Structure 1
């Protein structure tokens, strides 16, 4: 079971009046939905979902071999950065032997782009960790077969 974009988007939309952070993230998902067709999403990863003191970042792998990173820049602008999958020069996948630790996937780019690390333990809370383990594993499989 992967993390569902629509489920997370609906959560923030339905709770948008609760506080400023939730309202800001509801707006973020609304803007992303104007650019990305939900039917084109192969994988979705919401880094720092329900992590205090961190700003939510969204990552997508689309059917057209685009890798997309979305974040809020200084509370004023939503930034959507697009990469071709072929610009990723290598991928490192780490998983536990016993399923009780974290899963980690690190993407290294050809260009002078900072590496991106997805970490199931650091990127969400205890309640969502198992879903993040699964999506990281699914993304690793994707890169194994499509890279």
Structure 2
């Protein structure tokens, strides 16, 4: 089953009153929805989904070949960074030989020296790992065909 932006957004909306973290992430998804039309999302990746001690980051690949990173900074501001997919210098994809390992995808953009890394084991809990495995694989397939 494909990782769905709406599913995760709805989770945080429905748990808005539970705690400050769910409230913060519901607000984050609301702000993202003001800028990104859900119909334009090709691939979605929620890094640090349900990982204690880490702040959720959202990544999107849009139909117009934009790559977007969203996070909450130290000033409690939602930051959205936009990249052109064509500006990726290097993509590194790792997958296990069997179904039990970690999937990894690393992107290096021309404009930044920082690499963007996805790791299905580190980026979520054991219940959501299989969805991140699939999301990484799907993004790698897409990037291989650009």
**TM-score bracket, shorter-length normalisation:** over 0.9
Distance 1:134 1:128 in 2: 10
Distance 1:4 1:75 in 2: 28
The normalised TM-score by structure 2 is 0.98
Distance 1:72 1:112 in 2: 19
CA contact 1:104–1:117 (8 Å) conserved in 2: yes
The normalised TM-score by structure 1 is 0.97
User: Map of 1:1-147 to 2, 5 A cutoff?
Assistant: 1-74=1-74, 76-146=76-146
Distance 2:112 2:34 in 1: 29
Shift of 1:113: 3.8
Distance 1:32 1:25 in 2: 10
Unaligned runs of at least 5 residues, structure 2 = none
Distance 1:119 1:34 in 2: 28
Instruction: Find the residue that maps to 2:97 and give its secondary structure.
Output: coil
Structure 1 runs (4+) deviating above 4 angstroms are none
Count of aligned residue pairs for this structure pair: 146
Name the Cα RMSD after superposition: 0.8
Shift of 1:75: 5.2
